[in-house]
A and B are shown apart, each in its own frame.
Chain A
Amino acid sequence: MYELFNNYSNENHIQITCDSLYGNDFYLKLQADFSIGHDPDIVITAPGYNINYLYDADKLASLHKDILNDTSWSNNFDESILYTTKRNNKIYGIPMGMEYLALYSNNELLSKCGLDVPQSFNELLFACDVLKQNGITPIAFGALDSDMLLYQAITASLGGYMELTNAIYKSELTPPYALAFERMQSLYQAGAYPTDFESIGRLESQQMFLEAKAAFIVESSSFANTIANFSTENYFSDGKFSISAFPTSENVQKARNEFYKSNLIPVPYGVDNMTIHVSKTAYETKHDEIIRLIKYLTSKDSAKLLTKERGDISSVKSLSSKTSSAPTSNIIVERNLFIGKCTEITPMPDTAIDKYVWYSCISSNLANIITGRTDASDVLSNTSALLDAARGG
């Protein structure tokens, strides 16, 4: 992304100041800047609770007219992706990429232990037990991962589309969020996590999986690209990895199947962090410059660069997983097959609530909840209280 900004700055002789922050710091700064009148021109983050708030408070501009009036620009996008950033029937963000959360399995390690890719949560627990006995860490997971991808995948597997689309009712999170904590605890008790899981983060978890020290990892779809780039020698053979939806429990799945009259397996899906929003102030004072920059960032050339570097599923039609030709490796083929097989996609569970609250309440307490040092219900109550206070309650 920095490369794109630098290129644009050099080509157009303008100065772009880019503040890149991660996790809670980002949302604190974002909210604080808007609250004190120091509005940024462009906000690049995943849409969700916070972005919706800013849009509703008239802090972010609608880009609906700009994109629809320029067909050469709008035709560039995969329509289904473009319309995921709608609010009040107006497009307010331009997504550069999409992501799915999936369970990545190392088939070689599973085969060594006589296991297959688990199809249900119980099978996963069993696999964890067997792997543990064979001295293999079952799931690469670090509690310092503030995005809590494993927690989100479990939440989605329990909730499905309906419950996650309406995740908050009267400032309280719906049951899948609480149930997911229980599943996390079950996995902990089954020895699924690395022994030092409380002190490792997302990058360390990824490294464990890449080095075949763990059999499973929950990651976003762009992780396939990380695998492909990790080692061309070891990771290109067919069938080495499989990508699947996180398994839910048989009971839950049965109930869902009865309800939907179909075997739907929910997969968390959404536009990724690379979604462009424009502040109302910038939209009004430097409209043309801003739109020109966004068009550059969402151009095919920029999308190619991002896809290559980040492994994103691009929002640009010709580069999306559906139409992209000649994948660069088998794992990318595997990923595209997985995306094609998704029968039910849910919103990312973390987009349903205020991100500051997510990080400060849930994410920061995850290890304590898993290990039983903190009661999950207290955390959820605290979360509800903060959400309520944020609404002026």
Chain B
Amino acid sequence: MVFSKLRPQSIKDKIRSISILQIILPIIIIGILSFVISNNIIRNQALLRTKQTFNYVSEQVTAYTDAISGNAQKILYDRDVYETIAFGLPIDDKTSESIHNLLQQMVTSDTNIEAVSFTIRDENFRTVSKKINIPSAQSVGYSDILKKARKNENSVYWYTDMDGENSGSIYVAKILYNPYTYEEIGNIVFQASGVSLMNMIIKYNTSSDSKIDIISNNDRYIYKADPTVRDDELYELSFNENELIKHNNSYLIYHTIPSVNWRILCTLSSRSLFETSVWLMLCIFLLCLISATALVLFTKYINNNISSPLSELAKQIQTWDEDKVFRSPYKHRKDEIGVLYNSFSLMTRRIGLLIKQNYRNKLLQKDIELKMLQSQITPHFMFNALSAINNMAILNNMDDISKMVTALSDTLNNRISRNGRYVTLNDELSASDSYIYIQQVRFSNRLEIEKNISENARNIPIPNLTIQPIVENAVKYGLEATDRKCIIKINAYIDDDDLIVTVSDNGTGIEKDRLERINTALKTDALSIDGSIGLVNVNKRLMLLYGSDYGITIDSEPNKFTTVTLKYKIQDVKQY
């Protein structure tokens, strides 16, 4: 229910709603997604960069530690030392010298090594050093280191007493086993300087954006980027390796160097990490804003150009009065809106014309029906009366009266009985003859008829009662209006596909102005001309049946003649 109430009603509202859905929602979604994705990308990029740093630092540290621990193997690769260990041979002078030389070689060739302690079978303990600070069991707690190294079994044990700055050393301890029995037979401990390692890491700490710390497996700073940080501060942090976590105003992530179990701790400043993110978000926001503005303007244009004209058209349709003709304001628009407007305009004009025409036709029909009713008043009574008169005239040898009554009866019969729409030209002329005979008797032969009918025209079907009303008019204006002898000429001939019938009289004629008015009226929908309904009726019937090129035309000169020309179209008519 709520939704149905909220449902937009007009196209304008709908377009507005769609615009909201198409613009606002996508922009919100794009904004959120962009924020999340860009944040992730930046975070991942930071992680990737950090990982690359980790890899590089890890490689450097591994190279450093491998170089030191690899020296332990070098001692055993010496055949004398190996055979002494493997086959339990006594340590003779030659072997002692070999061992001494090897240890000496190590501390001189590797600048990182400060001292080496090599123990083989408890009774033979040898130490070589190049600096004053020779490691001793007391100073570095050898027994503890070796204890832990033993726990490490086969792995190298790393230990440091460094403070993350400039003091302390790195110790590497390895337990030696007999290669056959794998019983412990000795150990080797290196004391190494961490200076070169620190120098290498310092290179990574030149940027203020990220700092690298190295923490040993015994939780000592091998290298500390920020000397103000307490030693125990970061050790308390417990989080997964390679996981980025927030700590105060920084982000922390660490990686373990597998060969030595040292941790590389990277501290990233929040500002540097998200500086790019903020800039990117601002760009996205501006982009969304520009897009939204552009889309709003575009929607407004669509509204003005499409929805507003449609609304206006709907309003015009709703309020359109059938008497009015709607005039399109978009006559020159070629798009769908223009077509709708122009079509509606044309439609209103046509409807107006049809309504007028229909109204006139109804009036004409009513008039005809009235006249028909008038003419059909007691037709049987009239026929019966005329028949009685005719019989009496015949019985009294009154032939003239009999002819007159017969002609009158035929005339009435023609008007009443001929219900078919078409008759031959001959029949139409015969019907006129009865009327003419009556008028001739009436006016004592002052009426003369001349007929000139083409033989090939006689059987052409024409609408009934189209010639007699014209003859009646000729009698009216040629005979009744003057005292002179009236001559009525009827001609009929074929002109191409048309039948032309002319009815002329030598009566009073028609003034030129009036003649023009009559002829003009005949071309229009005039209901009567000077009160003459018959002439108009015949003209209308011919135009309706054959088209506007057919009908009646009148030619006349005052006091000389009047000729009415009827133009029929010759066509096959199935039923008369």
Contact = CB atoms under 8 A, between A and B. Distances in A.
14 contacts: A28-B82, A29-B77, A35-B86, A35-B176, A35-B178, A36-B174, A36-B177, A38-B69, A38-B72, A39-B154, A356-B82, A356-B86, A360-B83, A392-B183
Nearest to B89: A389
A32 interface: yes
Interface string A39-81: 1000000000000010001010000000000000000000000
Interface in B136-153: 152-153
A31 interface: yes
Interface string B69-81: 1001100110100
Contacts of B85: 35
A57 B154 contact: no
Contacts of A392: 88, 178, 180-181, 183
A31 B77 CA distance: 9
B20 interface: no
A370 to B, nearest CB: 24
Contacts of B182: 35, 57, 59
A38 B79 contact: no
B73 A32 contact: yes
A28 B154 contact: no
Which of A31, A37, A38 has the most B CB atoms < 10 Å from its CB? A37
Contacts of B156: 37-38
Contacts of A390: 86-87, 180
B155 interface: yes
Contacts, number: 72
Q: How large is the interface on B (under 10, 10 to 19, 20 to 34, 35 or more residues)?
A: 20 to 34
B88 A389 contact: yes
A101 to B, nearest CB: 28
A353 B188 CA distance: 30
A126 interface: no
B79 A28 contact: yes
B76 A36 contact: yes
A38 B73 contact: yes
A111 B86 CA distance: 52
A31 B79 CA distance: 12
Contacts of B179: 31-32, 34-35
A31 B72 contact: no
Interface in B340-394: none
Interface string A357-393: 0001000000000000000000000000010011110
Given A34-B177, A37-B175, A392-B183, 14 more contacts: A29-B77, A31-B86, A32-B76, A32-B77, A35-B177, A35-B178, A37-B153, A37-B154, A37-B177, A354-B180, A356-B86, A360-B83, A389-B86, A389-B89
Interface in B85-112: 85-89
Interface of B: 69, 72-73, 76-77, 79, 82-83, 85-89, 152-156, 174-183, 188
Query: What secondary structure prevails in chain A residues at the interface with B?
Result: helix
A29 B179 CA distance: 10
Contacts of B180: 31, 53, 57, 354, 390-392
B324 to A, nearest CB: 84
Given A35-B182, A38-B73, A386 B82 contact: no
Contact of B76 (A35, A57, A356, A386): A35
A53 to B, nearest CB: 6
Contacts of B177: 34-37
A107 interface: no
B67 to A, nearest CB: 13
A249 interface: no
Contacts of A57: 180-182
A309 to B, nearest CB: 30
A57 B179 CA distance: 9
Given A31-B179, A390-B180, A36 B87 contact: no
Contacts of A34: 177, 179
A32 to B, nearest CB: 4
B79 A33 contact: no
A121 to B, nearest CB: 35
Q: Which 8 A-B pairs have the closest CB atoms?
A: A37-B154, A32-B76, A31-B179, A389-B87, A35-B179, A390-B180, A35-B177, A57-B182
Name which of B87, B153, B175 has the most chain A CB atoms within 10 A of its CB: B87
A59 B183 CA distance: 13
B117 to A, nearest CB: 15
Given A28-B79, A28-B82, A33 B87 contact: no
A184 to B, nearest CB: 26
Nearest to A393: B88
B146 to A, nearest CB: 13
A265 to B, nearest CB: 35
Contacts of A242: none
A36 B79 contact: no
A281 interface: yes
Contacts of A59: 182
A386 B79 contact: no
A37 B155 contact: yes
A36 B72 contact: yes
A386 B89 CA distance: 9
Contacts of B181: 57, 391-392
A354 B155 CA distance: 26
Contacts of A53: 180
Nearest to A24: B79
Nearest to B154: A37
A144 to B, nearest CB: 18
Contacts of B153: 37
B558 to A, nearest CB: 122
Nearest to B88: A389
Contacts of B154: 37, 39, 281
Contacts of B76: 32, 35-36
B66 to A, nearest CB: 10
A390 B174 CA distance: 22
A28 B156 CA distance: 20
